[in-house]
Amino acid sequence: MFEGLIPRLRVRTVYDIDLQLLKEQGYKGIITDLDNTLVGAKDPLATPQLSAWLEEVKRQGFDVIIVSNNNFTRVSRFATPLNIQFVHAARKPSQRAFHQAVKLMGLPSKQVVVVGDQMLTDVLGGNRMDMYTILVQPIAIRDEGWMTKVNRRIERIVTSRLRKKGLWHEEEQH
């Protein structure tokens, strides 16, 4: 019942993602969430560390697109200085935005990784498209909107049930 919410990989931050391994496994595109995945929900711009990481992602040959449920103004102000394409008002886990991002990259979904901090939006959306999903820990949960707070409560219930079924192990996180 909850299997669609299980990410293929869990890491602390985007910096813990082994880009070389993903490349070796044939992945060519990365769809990433913005708020609480790349920066805190209230942080308007990328940090120098994040800018360097995104440059490394591109240098290694990955296409990268931000897919966010946030509005045009928020996402464009963040993505434009980094020269990164984006899809705003995505309504994740709806597949529309994921299809749009895959089309922009010109890649089959099986060659695309989805990175995000929410099981109910990023992981579920990516899994529904048969993409490789990576769940990161949220950066700043105190700044989250009310809907995200509701999602976090549901996530706690889901992970508790997955633990009881033996499908969620804390030691899997890298």
- pLDDT digits 0-9 by tens, 8-41: 999 999 999 999 999 999 999 999 999 999 999 8
pLDDT of residue 14: 98
pLDDT of residue 1: 58
3-class state of residue 64 by DSSP: strand
Distance CA 77, CA 72 (A): 8
Q: Where are the domains of the chain?
A: 3-172
CB 23 within 8 A of CB 62: yes
| Domain range 3-172, CATH architecture | 3-Layer(aba) Sandwich (3.40)
Q: What is the mean pLDDT of residues 33-50?
A: 94
Per-residue pLDDT tens for 76-134?
999 999 999 999 999 999 999 999 999 999 999 999 999 999 999 999 999 999 999 99
pLDDT of residue 165: 80
Per-residue pLDDT tens for 130-167?
999 999 999 976 666 777 778 778 788 778 888 788 87
3-class state of residue 31 by DSSP: strand
Note the pTM of the prediction, 2 decimals.
0.90
CB 98 within 8 A of CB 67: yes
